[in-house]
Amino acid sequence: MQKASAANDEALLDVRLDSGRTAREELKALRKLARLLDSRFEVLGVKFGVDALVGLVPVAGDAVTFVTGATALYTSVRLRLPWHVHSRIFLNLITDAGIGAVPVAGDLFDFFFRSHKRNFDLVEQHVLKRAAKQIKGPARQAAF
């Protein structure tokens, strides 16, 4: 499947979904959270977020970012995205929390894995697909 252009993505963001909100509205808060958790800060060219900082606190830090990161899973379930999206998001969260709980190596892992950005990208991809289907749906019906 060919990746949509930026202009096409912009048009898709303004499509109103079944939830009653536009794709842009659905993704806005999740994008901000993913950025905060994964890439809000930069030191010497290395981007990192609150996940990496809070992850320095053994066990509790990873538990907190797991719960916070579950927002992507909640959004995915609320929007009724395909089950495999839920599974991938959950796997990313478990991987981040599990490996992140390992002393030292887990802390380094937290700086580079960026599970929250991965989860945002999954949700965004499927929300844009759904918006594209909604645009095409009425056009097909009108042609018949």
pLDDT of residue 107: 86
Low-confidence ranges of the chain (pLDDT < 50): 1-2, 4, 140-144
pLDDT of residue 134: 86
pLDDT of residue 6: 63
pLDDT of residue 5: 63
Tens of pLDDT, residues 20-59:
899 999 999 999 999 999 999 999 998 999 999 998 888 8
- H-assigned helices in the chain: 6-13, 23-38, 50-54, 60-78, 83-100, 105-112, 115-143
Q: Considering only CA atoms, which of 115, 35, 123 is closest in space to residue 79?
A: 123
pLDDT of residue 140: 46
As a whole number of angstroms, the distance between CA 116 and CA 93 comes to: 8
Which residue matches tokens 């905060």? 36
Hey, what long-range contacts does 133-141 have (CB within 8 A, 24 or more apart)?
134/15, 134/16, 134/17, 135/11, 135/12, 135/15
Question: What is the sign of the dihedral through the CA atoms of 89, 95, 96 and 101?
Answer: positive
pTM: 0.85
Asked if 12 contacts 23 with a C-beta cutoff of 8 angstroms, the reply is yes
Asked if 89 contacts 77 with a C-beta cutoff of 8 angstroms, the reply is no
- What are the C-alpha distances in Å from 130 to residues 44, 125, 135, 143? 39, 9, 9, 20
